[in-house]
Chains A and B, each alone.
Chain A
C-alpha cells in the first residue's frame, strides 16, 4: 500500500511512519520539519495548505493523520485552524483523490467529561464538554473525520492514551524534568489507576488500523497497553528509569484542579508561548482514574500490545543509560 503519514516529525508520528514502512508499505510523510524517519519520502509543509495537501494525497491508498497542534494552552483560533481545518482539508483531498483508507489519530480526551474513567469504552467525541482547546478541536476533528466514512473511503479514529517511551520529548521528558527540579507533586494519594501506551504498541496499533480499516471503519478505538497502573507508580517508574528521584510530595487533587483552572485563566492573559505549570485538564488527568476496556479494540484491530509496561520501563532506563 502507499500510505501518507502526517505529523511524522512528532514522537508518535515518526514511530508510526517507521513502523508502517517496516511492514513493507511505501510511506510518504507530510509535516513542517524533517521527519527524521528512515526509508520514507518527506513532503515539508502544513496540513492547512490545501494545495500542498492535494499534492500529498495524490496516488495514496491510505492516510494516517497525526499532524495537530498539541499544547495545553495557546491561541484558540490557531487550534481550530490546524486541528479542524487541517483535518477537513486532508479529508476533502483524500476523498477527491480516491484514497480508500483514512486513520484519524485522536485522543481519549475528546470524550473526556471530567470524571474518573473506569474500564471505559470509546464514547463518542464531545466537543462541548471537553476541557481545553486541544481536546475540543480534536473532538470536532474526529467527528468530522468519521462523517467522511463512506463506501469509497473507510474512516476510523484511533485514540492512543498517554503514549510514552524512549526519546519522548513530551510526557516522559517533562515529567523527568519537573521531578529533577523537585516540581512534580502527586495529586492526592497518586493511586488513581491510569492506562498508558508504550510507543511501539501505539505504532503497531496504527499499522493495524490501516490494514484493518475496512472491517473496523466508522468507529473510534481507544488504544492502551491494557495494564492500568497507579499514577504514582507510573510516574515513579519513569523517574527511576531516568535516574531521578520519584515524586514524594502530595497536593490535594481538588485543590490542584481549582488552581489549574486559575492558572489557565492567568496564562490566557499572558503573551508568549510557554506552557502553564498546571491546568485543570492536567490536574484531572493526574488525580482521577483513566483506564479502558480494551476488548473491543483488540478484536476490531486484530492487535495486541507486544511490549509490557515492565519491559517498556526497562527499555526507557536503557535509553537514559545510553544517553549517558
Chain B
C-alpha cells in the first residue's frame, strides 16, 4: 500500500480540508485478482481523519467506514469529518472517519471493469484489509448503504455498529421506484447518466433547501467528463431490477443477513425522498428492531446535506470499551425478552368486557339528527366482532392502524378492537390540516387506514401507505376508486362468522406492548408521534380515576380527542357533542347542553378553544339547556391556559360544577390540576405566570434552571422560585417519540436517573412555596437580556393590566444575550396599522410593566396559532419586531 498524489482540484472545495485527502494503492480483489499471481493495484481516494488525529495525539476510539452512494462521492461525509474532529479536540471520543470514493467513483480509479454488488463488497474488504483497521462502524447512504451492509456481514468480528441514511436492502412487493426504473432502461440510462449530467443534476436537485452553487460544483468535480461518469451509469445498471440480475442473490443475502445483526444500529432518514421512501425505512426498522431511528421531517434523499446527521451519528456511536446496553443492542433472542410486568396491570378493555352483558348506555353519538345510543353489551360485541374481523383480514399484532374517524361509536369500537388484538392505533387530530395529517400518517407508516370517505379520499389522493378500510359501506365503484378493500360493517359480519366458527381472540397484549401513537398538535413545530404502551395508556385511565374521581356514575362529555376515547376504559358513559372536531372553536354551548342531556353525564371536558366559544354562545341556551347543565358537577378545560374570567363565565353555566384546568400535553396528558376557586385564591400572588396547580396523583414535577443564554442546564430541583424548564415524570407519561430518536434524547437530557421516565416539556415556569407550578411560557420564547433570561408570560400579564390593552406578547429583539424586551399589544380600539403604539398606550404599558421595554408596538390583531385559537405566535411577532425596530420597512405580522 502506498500513498500517491492528491487530486489538485480537491484543495479548494468548500468544507473539505485537503489534509484529509489520501490516495492509497490496494491489491485488487475478486475479478481484479484474475489469474495473475500478483493482482492489479487499485488506486483509491479516501478522506481519512486518522493522520490528523495522530498528529493531535488523540487515542482513536474506533473507525467509522463511510460509504457514499450514486452519484455522489466522499464529499458527502464532510460534515461528519469536521464534527468528529471538533469532538476529539473538545476532549470527546476520537473517532477516525474513513470516507471512501468507491472505485469508478469520485477521485478513485476508473478501472474499465463493470463492478457489480459482490465485486464492490470485495473491493471494500480489500481496502479495509490494507488499511488494517480495528473495530469498525459502517455508515452508508443510498446504494452505499447496501455495500456497507455487505461489508458488515462479511466482517462480523470487526463490526461494532451500523448506521444507514436513506437506503434499501429489499425491493419490496411493489415495482422499483419509477425514477430508477426509467434510468434502468438502456438508452435512457446512458443518456441520463453518462452522455449528459442529468442523473447527477437530478440527484443534486433533491436537496432541501437547494445546495449552493459552490457545493453543487464540488459534487460535480470528479464527474466532469463522460469517461469520468461511466461509473455512475454502471452503478445505476447494477440496481437489481429483476431475478436474473447478477447482483440479485447478493442483495437478497444481505436483506436476510441484516436480520441477524446484533450490534447497535442507527437509521437516519429524510422522508422527502422520491426514491427511498418511508416504505424502505419501515422495512429496515422491521429487520433491525433494536435500531435507533430518527426521521428528519422536511429532509430528503440528500439527508446528509439537509439535516444535522453528523451530530446524530456522533451522539449514537457506541462509547468505546462499554458493553452495549440492553436497549442499544438487539436482544440475543426475542423469545427470552420478558417484559417487566406491572403487578396490577388491568387491560384498557377490562371495564368494557366486564359490562359485556350490560344493557345500559355506553356511548352516545350526537352527530346525527337525533342521538345514537350504544349499550355496553352492543359495544363489547362490536369490539369483539371487529377484532375478529381485523384478524381474519390479516391484521397482525403490532400493525399500525391509522384512525381518521371522528369521535363517536365507530371510533370507539375501532380503538378498542385494535387494542384488543395488539394493533397500534395512530391518532392524528384533523386540526393538523391535510398537509400536517399527511406528514403524520406517512411518518407513522400505518399498515391500515380506517376512515370516512373524506379521509380515504385524502389517503388515495396523497398516496398514504396502508390498506384502506371505510367506516361505512361504500358503493362498489366508490370503494374501488378509493382503493378501499373492506368496511367496518363487512369486517364485523366477517368477524361474527369467524367467532361462530370457533376463532379465539389472542391473549390480551402485555403492558409493555405498544398501544397507540398520538400526534402532537403541531403548534410547536411539525407534529410528532408520541408512543404509548398499554401500561401507559392504562395509567392515563387510572390517573383520571384517581384525580378527577371519574367513575361509572359520573359520565363524560367531551370532544377532546384522547379523552373522548377513554370513556369505555373508565367504565363510564361518554358522549361527544355535535361539532366539527377539526375546529374545536366551533363547539357551541347548546351542543354541550344537548350532549349532557342525552347522556346524563356529570363531567364535561373541553379544549381551551372550545371553552372560549362556549362562553361566547352561552346566550343561545334555553331554560331546558340550562337545567341540563345544572346537573354537571365537574368541568375541565385543558391545554393552553384560559383566563379565570372566561373560565368563570362558563362555570356560571354549570352552577353545581367545580371548574378545573388541568395542565398537560400530548406526552403527558395530566401533569397538574387547579380548580377555579384556587385560581382566584392565588390571583393576588406576586408570582409571574399562570398557576396550573399541584402535580396530580403519581406525577412529579421538577425545574431545570435556565442559564444566561436561556438554555435549561440546571440540575432538576423542586426549590421554589427557580425559573426553568418544567420536567415531569408520571406512570402515564409517554414511552417515547416515534422514529425521532434525537428528539427522545433531547426530551430526557439531564433528567433524574431514578428509574422513572422523565420528560422535558419545553415549557418554562417555576414552583411556589406551596408546591404549585406556574407556567411562564415556552422555552423557545424565552428572551435573553443582559439581566438574564426572561420568560414572557409574567410581563405579558402586567402589560395586559394597562387600560387600553386587550392582549399582549413580549418578544425579544437583537442578538441572544443582549436582547431588548418589546411589548406588542392588541388594543381595545383596534389599531389601524401595525407599528409603534400611540404615545398614550406606550405610556400606559411602560407604567404597567416592571420589565424595561425598549419599545411598545401595536397591531390590529395578534397573530395566533391556527390550531390553538388562543396561542399567540410569538415567533412571527419577534421576527417582525426585530426588523421593524432595526429600521427596515416590513409588512404587518400575520
Contacts and interface: CB of A to CB of B under 8 A. Distances in A.
Contact of A289 (B786, B835, B885, B889): B885
A232 B820 CA distance: 17
A118 B852 CA distance: 18
B846 to A, nearest CB: 7
Interface stretch (A71-79, A89-97, A140-148, A187-195): A187-195
A229 B852 CA distance: 11
Interface stretch (B234-242, B292-300, B508-516, B810-818): B810-818
B814 A191 contact: no
Interface in A248-298: 253, 287-289, 291, 293-295
B839 interface: yes
Given A230-B885, A289-B885, A310-B846, A189 B786 contact: no
Interface in B859-894: 884-889
Contacts of B813: 118, 193
Contacts of B854: 193, 227-230
A116 interface: yes
B815 A118 contact: yes
A233 B884 contact: no
B839 A190 contact: no
A236 interface: yes
A188 B814 CA distance: 20
Contacts of B814: 118-119, 291
A191 B855 contact: yes
Contacts of A228: 820, 854
B887 A287 contact: yes
Chain B interface residue count: which class? 20 to 34
A119 B786 CA distance: 11
A151 B816 CA distance: 37
Interface string A229-241: 1101100100010
A220 interface: no
B855 A119 contact: no
Contacts, number: 66
Contacts of B402: none
Interface in A81-130: 116, 118-119
B815 to A, nearest CB: 5
Contacts of A189: 835-836, 884, 889
A295 B786 CA distance: 8
Contacts of A229: 854-855
Interface in B770-800: 786
A236 B815 CA distance: 27
Contacts of B884: 189, 191
B846 A230 contact: no
A246 interface: yes
A288 B835 contact: no
B842 A192 contact: no
Nearest to A186: B836
B846 A116 contact: no
A116 B839 contact: no
Interface string B810-844: 00011100101000000000000001100100100
Contacts of B815: 118-119
Contacts of B857: 191
Contact of A293 (B818, B855, B886, B887): B818
A240 B839 contact: yes
B855 A230 contact: yes
A253 B890 CA distance: 13
A288 B887 CA distance: 5
A176 to B, nearest CB: 16
Contact of B836 (A119, A191, A240, A293): A191
A193 B839 contact: no
A294 B818 CA distance: 9
Nearest to A295: B786
Contacts of B839: 233, 236, 240, 246
Nearest to B886: A289
Given A116-B888, A240-B839, 4 more contacts: A191-B885, A227-B854, A229-B855, A289-B885
7 contacts: A116-B887, A189-B884, A191-B855, A192-B885, A192-B887, A193-B820, A230-B836
Interface of B: 786, 813-815, 818, 820, 835-836, 839, 842, 846, 852, 854-855, 857, 884-889
Minimum-distance CB pairs A-B, first 4? A192-B887, A288-B887, A289-B886, A119-B814
